[in-house]
A and B are shown apart, each in its own frame.
Chain A
Amino acid sequence: MKVAIPQDSLARALGIVSRAVPSRSPLPVVSNVLLTTDDHRLKLVATNLEIALTVWIGAQVSEEGTITVPARLFSEFVSQLKGDQPVQITLPPRSRQLNVHCGRDEANIGGMPADDFPVVPEVTDGQRLVLPARGLRRAIEEVVFAAARDDSRPVLTGVHVQVADGVAELAGADGFRLAVHRLRLPAPSAEGSPEPFSVNIPWSTLDHLGRLLSESGDVQMAVNGERTRALFRLDDIELVTQLIPGTFPNYQQLIPTTYATRARVSVEEFLHETKIAAIFARDGSGIVRLHVTPGEGGGPGSLQVSARADEVGDNRGEIDAAVDGEPSKIAFNSRYLIDVLSVLEPGELALETSGPSNPGVLRPLGHDDYVHVVMPMFVQW
């Protein structure tokens, strides 16, 4: 193998695939990155066996070849090389030592045969669809944080993606909150709109994918016929992931359709006051108390955000709120509020509540594509 590649594109590609490399693995070859010449390109592959990332970069290929080398070592070395020089990669025939040469720097890296590297499965025989990159990125950001991190209910560690009627609905939920984003799909092509389907994608896969998505362009998604794997294809990147088996619970029934109190507030102000209250809530099970008070005589109402911890202290902060309905109080875990408020776009949101023991609902105003449901904490007021 003999290849020359611009340093910056090699460093970028290694940066991308390295995210799939597990920090520890029972299978040593998995901590390596697979390098393969592919026509006029170099293909880089890394996998943690749950997801596999593949990146192609343009290269000057003088001799075909393939090898795996330790991902971390190779990536760190390449990232330190000078950007104005091409990186020469040479693997002599029947050798396992990869020679890397750039300007006046040179290294020999011991590798393992490409045959030992896990085969990235094909995803061919199922559904296909096209997703807008920017919209998908936002949907992932607004949903992934709500998926369960512990696997006591394995299906909840996935984000449920349901495709039907020109919409991909993404839903993430743990035991205490639910985030649902409806992503409108581009107008169907000549082939017609995709068949409805639903899958559970590991939250970590979507987290990886979200970081790869740009502000424009499309993402192609494919699911195999058995619904065990999915593929995402960006320009020169492919991500293949295992899917989580099982039926995602029916979450529609968790979304309240009525409310007793609705308060319209600024997302930024609400987040700011919640962060302040969280400082005091730290010693008191993370409880943040909200009091919504309707305005009197045409004046604005208010949302008071407070916290207290025995023997530590307490705080109160207040922001304007346009209130519809009766005065209300409700308590939330500060982390759950901060999680959702941090991912909403600047603007206004509506907080809808139906008493201190029923789920609260947050809806950004101006987008009917997102809803967040969070279970309040039971506290003694």
Chain B
Amino acid sequence: MPQTILHADLDAFFASVEQLDRPELRGKPVVVGGPPERRGVVAAASYEARRFGVRSAMPMARALRLCPEALRVPPRFDRYAELSHRVMAIFRSITPLVEPLSLDEAYLGVTAEVEAHGGPERLARSLKERVQRETGLVVSVGVGANKSVAKIASDRGKPDGLVVVPAGKEAEFLHDLPVRDLWGIGPRSEELLHRAGVETIGDLARLPAEAATRLLGSRGAELRDMANGVDPRPVVTSRERKSVGAETTFPRDLPDGPELRAELRQLAEEVATRLRHEGKLGYTVTLKLRYHDFRTVTRQQTLARPVDAGDEVERVAAALLDGLGTAGARFRLVGVTCSRLVERGAWQPDLWGAVADPFADGPGRTAPAQAAEGQRPQD
């Protein structure tokens, strides 16, 4: 039986929340993020600001150069989490199959709901209207037979989009789109594909399987399938969360420095906000870094006491970064994850927690840094 999956993505979410709460910002270029003098990065930009070329993860100083009249506001993650919660609740009232991807994005499994709503387009329209009416936010929606198609569809329609890809028309919809629109193709993969003459998703779809693997490594087969409109990943809901994480791929590779550190701070804050949102605390903080050559390393530290505050998560992540020896290295991605989660309402603190390094002379509980060398997908 063909599936119907809906991808819902709030437009310029953080910036829209600011414009919602502060009417004087409406219709104006708004950028959310830390101040340029503290090397802040853009967490979100309103569509008015995007017209000037401002993008997420861009250094704030650069954003303000591109758009000098932009109004900068500091992020308020707790407020975003609150609104995200309300939007997700609307999604859940439509279908129990909701898989949130982040605060502003979710997949909805709506196969069983489509008929009762009079078809996918009507369902998507009523969802958009409810979100607008009940929260004042604008959500772009894509509907398709699988996750990959639905996500590309919601992206194509932005802002305030509604794109339905009828079953069986996936290839037609995808084939003329640029290959970077495919989930999982970043700037680096795009460049490699371009060099091989692959410009559109259709070009990738027509590529022999071996060529796809040669160009894209282990993900080649999966990406080629997606290019052909095939994506078997199911909508996963209500799993017991084992971790909460966030990561950013930079528009260009960054050295360790104020920009990277600012991004780390923002990720830590986002992770901490989501932990609080879910009523959890995390014992283990993991830092993920991808080097310019796709080599990926993770470093983690387990704490004596679980945390849910942004500055605590940031402090641990920053210390892990300090311990890495980053001189001369350039990074394309940074991520922060909290794991070993416990309920905030009731958890068992550690007896040794209050004592400064009781294991200084003996074997430690957890190696402070565990390394995991990643694969080079391009090799």
Chain A residues engaging chain B, CB cutoff 8 angstroms: 152-155, 173, 175-178, 246-250, 253-254, 284-285, 287, 331, 333, 357, 359, 373-380
Among B337-377, those with CB < 8 Å from A are 343-355, 358-359, 361-366
In the A-B complex, the 5 residue pairs with the smallest Cβ-Cβ separation, listed nearest first, are A249-B358, A247-B361, A247-B362, A375-B351, A246-B362
Shortest A145–chain B CB gap in Å is 15
A246-B362, A247-B361 known; A378-B347 Cβ under 8 A: yes
Sample of 11 further A-B pairs with CB below 8 A, known A284-B346, A357-B349, A380-B344: A154-B363, A175-B350, A175-B351, A247-B361, A285-B346, A374-B351, A375-B349, A375-B351, A375-B353, A378-B346, A378-B348
Shortest A251–chain B CB gap in Å is 8
- Establish whether residues B347 and A248, one from each chain, have CB atoms under 8 Å apart when the complex forms: no
- Establish whether residues A359 and B363, one from each chain, have CB atoms under 8 Å apart when the complex forms: no
- Establish whether residues A176 and B347, one from each chain, have CB atoms under 8 Å apart when the complex forms: no
Of A154, A175, A373, A374, chain B has the most CB atoms within 10 Å of the CB of A175
Assembled-state Cα–Cα distance A374/B351 (Å) = 7
CB-defined A-B contacts under 8 Å, sample of 6: A153-B363, A177-B351, A254-B354, A375-B351, A377-B348, A378-B346
Of B345, B347, B355, B363, chain A has the most CB atoms within 10 Å of the CB of B363
Assembled-state Cα–Cα distance A175/B342 (Å) = 16
Contacts of A176 in B (CB 8 A): 348, 350-351
- Establish whether residues B359 and A249, one from each chain, have CB atoms under 8 Å apart when the complex forms: yes
Contacts of B363 in A (CB 8 A): 153-155, 246
Contacts of B355 in A (CB 8 A): 249-250, 253-254
Shortest A312–chain B CB gap in Å is 14
Chain B residues engaging chain A, CB cutoff 8 angstroms: 343-355, 358-359, 361-366
Shortest A301–chain B CB gap in Å is 27
- Establish whether residues A152 and B366, one from each chain, have CB atoms under 8 Å apart when the complex forms: yes
Assembled-state Cα–Cα distance A304/B153 (Å) = 60
Shortest B261–chain A CB gap in Å is 31
Shortest A188–chain B CB gap in Å is 30
- Establish whether residues A153 and B346, one from each chain, have CB atoms under 8 Å apart when the complex forms: no
- Establish whether residues B348 and A375, one from each chain, have CB atoms under 8 Å apart when the complex forms: yes
**B357: nearest chain-A partner, CB-CB:** A249
**B366: nearest chain-A partner, CB-CB:** A152
Assembled-state Cα–Cα distance A175/B343 (Å) = 18
**A285: nearest chain-B partner, CB-CB:** B346
Contacts of B343 in A (CB 8 A): 285
- Establish whether residues A178 and B351, one from each chain, have CB atoms under 8 Å apart when the complex forms: yes
- Establish whether residues A173 and B347, one from each chain, have CB atoms under 8 Å apart when the complex forms: no
**A251: nearest chain-B partner, CB-CB:** B358
Assembled-state Cα–Cα distance A379/B352 (Å) = 19
Contacts of B358 in A (CB 8 A): 249-250, 253
Query: Of A153, A173, A248, A373, which is within 8 A of B365 by CB?
Result: A153
